[in-house]
Amino acid sequence: MSDLLERLRGRGWRLTSQRRVVAEVLDGEHVHLTADEVHARAVERLPEISRATVYNTLGELVGLGEVLEVATDGRAKRYDPNAHHAHQHLVCYGCGAIRDVHPQGDPLAALPASERFGFTLSGAEITYRGLCPDCSTGS
């Protein structure tokens, strides 16, 4: 579990019922939902929650560093609660499914000094692409 709710409680984030529902929807492993998906699931639990509230709450969570925004080319941004464990993404170019993956070795170390242009590196985002099992069996 990403224990997002625990982390938010630990930070003293004011958990209104609306914020709680958004955090609950995002909690878990391999969660990469679009804002619209978060809204659709939140409505199932709290019918009166508005799209604007969901968007604002997502923005706050990203600002707090507790949720990551994952951009996957050409598709809507996804929200990822797995913000504290360095990981990369494996993306299906058929259906857009995303898995959290942990390549071996340090991705920063993979970039030689001659390719760093004097930058001090702080992170790397790597996207592995391919077809998931469902898409590769061509249903």
- The pair of structure tokens assigned to 73 is 């080319």
| Residue 80 interacts with Zn ion (CB under 5 A): yes or no | yes
Give 64's Cβ-side CA count (13 Å radius). 19
Closest contact distance (angstroms) between CB of 80 and Zn ion is 4
User: Which string of x and - marks every residue 91-110 that binds Zn ion (by CB under 5 A)?
Assistant: -x-xx-x--x----------
Closest contact distance (angstroms) between CB of 5 and Zn ion is 18
Between 40 and 132, whose beta carbon lies closer to Zn ion? 132
Q: Which of 40, 46, 124, 132 binds Zn ion (CB under 5 A)?
A: 132
Between 62 and 97, whose beta carbon lies closer to Zn ion? 97
Nearest C-alpha neighbor of 46 from the set 71, 21, 23, 80: 21
Q: At what angle do helices 35-45 and 51-64 cross, to 10 degrees?
A: 120
Residue 127 main-chain phi, psi, to 5 deg: -115, 120
Closest contact distance (angstroms) between CB of 44 and Zn ion is 23
Q: How far apart are CA 39 and CA 78, in angstroms?
A: 12
Residues lying near Zn ion in the complex (CB under 5 A): 80, 82, 92, 94-95, 97, 100, 132, 135
